[in-house]
Chains A and B, each alone.
Chain A
Amino acid sequence: MKHVTDALCVFRIHLARLRAEAGPFVLAALVFPTAMYLFAVAVSGAQEISDEKRLRFLAGSIVFSLSMTSVSWLGYLLLENRFTGRLKLFATLPVAPSSYIFGVLLFALAQAALGTITLLVVARVLNVRAHISFIALGLVVLVTMLCLCGLSVIIAARARSFSEGSLLTDSLGAGLVFLAPVYYSPQAMPRALSAISQWLPTTFAARAVQTTLSGSSQIGAELLALALMTVLTLSLGFRLMRWREE
């Protein structure tokens, strides 16, 4: 019971931060992804853009939003906790490191849910015809968010300074989306980049999100890949996070 209360307190502390600084969140989770959707539609070249393309761009924007909130924004918060001594304050308390991490992940999940739902509403306003498989979409969003959060935890744990860490999270937050073929077809990529991009979590996530937006739940392979990456990144992040110095 104490673990749950502690994790909820950590969640609420970070939520208060979101409440006070909603502007950057709205920019990262909603405005930029929406702008990217509109940009991708505009430069797609076709007079009448197909529903499939629209869904791909929407899936890309949802993954963009997830990446910006889970890697850039959350990474920034974790770095701030570490380098401004807030993590030290948590470490003085009888709070298990796992409660802190679960609280942070809960916060990231709340952001991911808020961002995804709002983007779906925006898509409806923009006349994107989607037949959403909600449960499958929820699963993909959850696993993608966890996997990307794992990357944030690793960076926040390993960065030698705040500026180094925030530069990394910012680059990775945007780079993971632009390296994955989410706003363009994989064939349009140079061969070397294509080889890399097919192993990125955002590639699997975008493919899975697009599938769920078209009403299908055939996302087993993508989910499995994302789950494996989640286990890898989160367990490494847990391992690297220093709650207690040696």
Chain B
Amino acid sequence: MSTNESLLAKSQAQTSNREREEEAAVVCVRGLIKRYSDGTAANRGIDLDVRCGEVVSILGPNGAGKTTFLRQLTTELKPTSGQIEIFGVDAVAEPQRAKRMMGITPQEAGVFETLTVREHFEFFGRFKALSKREARIAAFDIADELGLGAEINRRVGLLSGGQRRRILIGLALMGRPPLLVLDEPTTGLDPASRQSVWQVLRRVVAEGATIIFSTHYMEEAERLSDRIAIIEGGQLLAFDSLDKLFARLARSYRVSHSDPFDPLSEPFIRYFATFSEAQEYVARERLSEYALSRASLEDIYFTLTGERFKDGAEGESA
């Protein structure tokens, strides 16, 4: 074998190794069931694999079981039955080991009002086994990235709700964990702050991290996710890429219009298999004001769950 051929073979082997690594599931959930003491079944047998470097969003109506699912993933809640493996570690049996590989932003968590932003990041860096110097450097880097640079020496008690939310995201990022689990990370943020959080999340994914997050914003799920999981009634209804989810729709054109005599009423939405069918409908109904578009993630969501998505709705607790 010539030198060139051997180099080529070596390069091919390296590529396939990398592909295998990327394909390997870093989060592996099997038969996850959570039944609360009052008998409520919040998760009913969820199976889900997340590959290395993927961004997976979890969608579902309020009370669907998204937060319950994420809380079990982060080891905060013990499953009734089922398995959760994080990078090969049994998260149910060894929660501390599993948490070493995760950065977590809970849906509702409090910050320490008497500590400054910098102190928060530094202490949490230390909890994540960074040295004092590393924690200090990371504190400044993350504060800058999340647009908190100007507030770094201010007490958290003086900051707004959105700034506190960004601190919680920053705490999850400390120590560059390979897996981020974020429960509605951008709820309550203004559009500019949301954009800066998206930028940070894209950066960490480019560096090799894997992200699982729940959201109430369709746009967020569409823009960030490689795959989207839709949960309802504690069950995983769909888990696929956006393209494949679209392919499930038999009628992928939508026409929406309001009642001209009651413009504040809920809009009528109709779906059609082809563009011409949609046009025919518009002509037949003599609509003067309407919107004709390709179906969106919201339509897929509606088809699967039977519920309209409420952007930025209040967080769920189940």
Residue ranges of A at the interface with B (Cβ–Cβ < 8 Å) = 2, 5-6, 9, 12-13, 16-17, 19-21, 81, 84-86, 88-89, 91-96, 244-246
Contacts and interface: CB of A to CB of B under 8 A. Distances in A.
Interface string B106-133: 1011111011000100011011110000
B157 to A, nearest CB: 9
B219 interface: no
A16 B112 contact: yes
A124 B102 CA distance: 54
12 contacts: A9-B123, A13-B123, A17-B114, A85-B109, A89-B110, A89-B171, A92-B102, A92-B106, A92-B109, A94-B96, A245-B77, A246-B78
A80 to B, nearest CB: 8
A244 B96 CA distance: 11
A17 B74 CA distance: 28
B76 interface: yes
Given A84-B110, A88-B109, A89-B111, A244 B127 contact: no
Interface residues of B, number: 34
Nearest to B112: A13
A85 B167 CA distance: 14
B128 A93 contact: yes
A85 B77 contact: no
A118 to B, nearest CB: 22
B10 interface: no
B255 interface: no
Counting chain A CB atoms within 10 Å of each CB, the highest count among B109, B119, B126 belongs to B109
Given A12-B123, A93-B99, A96-B96, 12 more contacts: A9-B127, A13-B112, A19-B114, A81-B110, A85-B109, A89-B168, A89-B171, A94-B100, A94-B128, A95-B127, A244-B78, A245-B71
Contacts of B119: 16
Pairs A-B, 10 closest by C-beta atoms: A84-B110, A85-B110, A20-B114, A92-B104, A85-B109, A94-B99, A86-B110, A94-B100, A89-B109, A93-B127
Interface in B42-75: 71, 74-75
B95 interface: yes
Contact of A245 (B76, B100, B112, B171): B76
Counting chain B CB atoms within 10 Å of each CB, the highest count among A2, A20, A21, A93 belongs to A93
Counting chain A CB atoms within 10 Å of each CB, the highest count among B100, B127, B128 belongs to B127
A14 B110 CA distance: 14
A16 B76 contact: no
